[in-house]
Amino acid sequence: MPDRLRPVGEDSVPQQEPRVFGDLSALCSAPAAVCILDSEQRYFWLNHEFAGLNGLPVSELLGKRVREVVGGLAEQIEPYVAEVLCSGEPILNVEVSTEHPFRKTRVHWQMHFFALRQQEGKFGRVGIVINEHTNGKEKNLEGIVESLGGKLQQEMGRLQSLTEINALLSSNRDVPLLFPWISAHIRRVMRQEMASLALLDAGNRTLVGKALDFPLSRGLLTQSPVSLKDNPAEKALDSGAPVIFCKQELQAFESPIALSLLAEGIQSLCCVPIMSPTGPLGLFMVGSTRKDAFQQNDLALLIQVASQLALAMENHLAASEIRHLKKRLGEERKFLEEEVEPDGPFSEIIGGSPALRQVLRQVGTVASSGATVLILGETGTGKELIARAIHRLSRRKDAPFIKVNCAAIPTGLLESELFGHEKGAFTGAISRKVGRMELADGGTLFLDEVGEIPLDLQPKLLRALQDQEFEHLGSNHTVKVNVRLIAATNRNLPERVACNEFRSDLYYRLSVFPITVPPLRERKEDIPLLVRYFVRQFSQRMDRHVESVPQSTMDALLHWQWPGNVRELENLMERSVILSEGSVLRVPLSELRPPAETKGSPAVASDDSLHQAERQHILRVLREAHGKLSGPNGAAKRLGLKRTTLQSQMQRLKIFHHDYSDSQPD
């Protein structure tokens, strides 16, 4: 590729080598042989004229040492190359003559050596212009030599500046922070006193200033958003190509930014759009207080800088988006870490009673509809499990399931938990918080104990449910969401509506599809299944080996009314596994709560009533065991107790032999 500087060997430029600018095309087509040697005297770049002098194609010459190409001529050339690298001063009109190894003829060359600056101002390469004497006639190329030497130096400087800008942007994606150094590198090779960087807000057709480097500024340029209307930048952004303006052309604009530039003394301006594959990202602009400071051959460098800025800005925006997503993911994980989905939608719901099957049929009916569901039932009946089952059967099963216990959050903080808040929205709001409703976007929001929501918060919740939009506390920016609501309560909401403690419109919005979960006393067929399930779970967790539940214990469990429902049963089974020392489950029946009050039957509320119920249960087991306390069929075995523990219980409850005298004594 003759029109580009091609890196070879250890002295190559970085992998993302910038394109060399238009002036090198003049070097390639010039009527002179030109080459560039690196510090090891390898051919770094050359044109076709030079390749023709040596009788080899360009591809075979690149990377070779001088000695490998010109043979004996190297002894005459190499000292001059070393001297130019050392002194930095050009050496002109050096005549060399010898037999050329490839052309097989004697050549007579007139050579001119120029030192080319590299990093940190050091001379690292040498440009050579060669004039060949043909039949004693010498081409008069002194003017061309002088011109090409200056162009070589200029192009190498631009290449070096672009390489250093690339290295800067590769080390740090914060473009505004690096911009003063980027501007300084450009200033080394171009006549500019001002450089600025702005991002495009395509929706509002405005430019938002991000960086400005103008050491001699009078402070008239602003970084505030400016409209594109009647703005010099508009033409560059709309065309996607750089545009150069002179002072007279700037005076034709009436926008504040054009007037500010003129007031700062800018007489030459170049606007370069920063382009991405999807369109313009912003604008890179350079200005000068001198007339005609920018020419068409300067645009190649500015376009390359703009391309590197575009890549760095896209990387910066992508990194910011990743950080935002990670932050949101971290906030979601706080609510999702413990939400391990089971194998099936009903695998966590234990039971097969007709009442429970009816509830599950309702779940299957409403799950795919997306309708709001109100789950009613006493405390501890498993309303949250029903809500999870609805979510897992819905079209939102792969989206978040976010729960909020409205009774567990202080009244003053519930609004912030639901809708989020901005930093400084209230005392203690030290950072921005994303609300649960926003976290549930695309998924399901489960409001447990919805009857406990304060009356003054209910209108905002109603609006959020109806319109699917809300505002953070301390913000007037509307957040739109797509959330399915499932609510649950153990309160009598119609009664609270009648007492003006719950809004009727919110109640009707929540009760689109009500589901009533039956209490455990209405599905006693499920108690044995639940007992075995909980015993197995707790035994594995505690490394116990409980293998059986006495039938008498199971009968006693079936007779309780379970005012705490499944939650009460679960807690009792956990205590029972802790107390069980052998393979038989030991249930502390004396710790059972009294049965709940039901219609038509009084509640057992006193300790005497509980002791009496426990006494009657032990008496019944003693009679079934024919009065035997120990042994395989004894009362202690049936109750899951030790003989000594049973005797202590009998003594405490005042159970004597004559109380079960119809059976055989032990």
Distance between CA atoms of 196 and 214, rounded to whole angstroms? 8
Distance between CA atoms of 516 and 378, rounded to whole angstroms? 9
DSSP 178: H
In one-letter notation, the amino acid at residue 16 is Q
pLDDT digit string, tens, across residues 103-132 = 878 888 888 998 887 656 677 888 888 888
pLDDT digit string, tens, across residues 560-616 = 888 889 999 999 999 999 988 878 888 888 777 554 443 444 444 445 556 677 788
- Alpha helix positions (H), 477-586: 493-498, 504-510, 527-542, 551-559, 565-579
Torsion of CA 41, 46, 49, 55, to 10 degrees: 60
Annotate 60-87 with DSSP letters as a single string: HHTT-BHHHHHTTHHHHHHHHHHHHHHH
Per-residue pLDDT at 208: 85
CB-based contact 207:282 (threshold 8 Å): yes
Per-residue pLDDT at 609: 59
370: Cβ–Cβ under 8 A, 6 or more apart, which residues? 394, 395, 396, 484
The string over 94-125, giving b where at least 16 C-beta atoms fall within 10 Å of a residue's C-beta and e elsewhere, is bebebebeeeeeebebbbbbbbbebeeeebbb
Q: How many residues does the chain have?
A: 666
pLDDT digit string, tens, across residues 505-526 = 999 999 999 999 999 999 999 9
338: Cβ–Cβ under 8 A, 6 or more apart, which residues? none
Per-residue pLDDT at 323: 77
- Domains in the chain, CATH or no CATH each: 9-154 (3.30.450.20), 172-317 (3.30.450.40), 354-518 (3.40.50.300), 536-660 (no CATH)
Torsion of CA 130, 135, 137, 139, to 10 degrees: -30
Q: Can you say whether residue 542 is alpha, beta or left, with left for phi > 0 and alpha for psi between -120 and 50 degrees?
A: alpha
Distance between CA atoms of 130 and 459, rounded to whole angstroms? 88
CB-based contact 332:439 (threshold 8 Å): yes
3-state secondary structure 284-316: EEEEECCCCCCCHHHHHHHHHHHHHHHHHHHHH
261: Cβ–Cβ under 8 A, 6 or more apart, which residues? 221, 232, 250, 269, 287
Helix (H) or strand (E) holding 271: strand 268-276
Both tokens of 25, joined, read 């095309």
Low-confidence ranges of the chain (pLDDT < 70): 1-31, 118-121, 134-162, 168-173, 327-345, 424-425, 428-429, 593-611, 661-666
Q: CA nearest 117: which of 192, 14, 36, 33?
A: 36
This prediction has a pTM of 0.45
Distance between CA atoms of 479 and 321, rounded to whole angstroms? 18
Chain mean position to CA 444: 21
Per-residue pLDDT at 156: 63
Whole-number mean pLDDT of the chain? 79
CB-based contact 394:444 (threshold 8 Å): yes
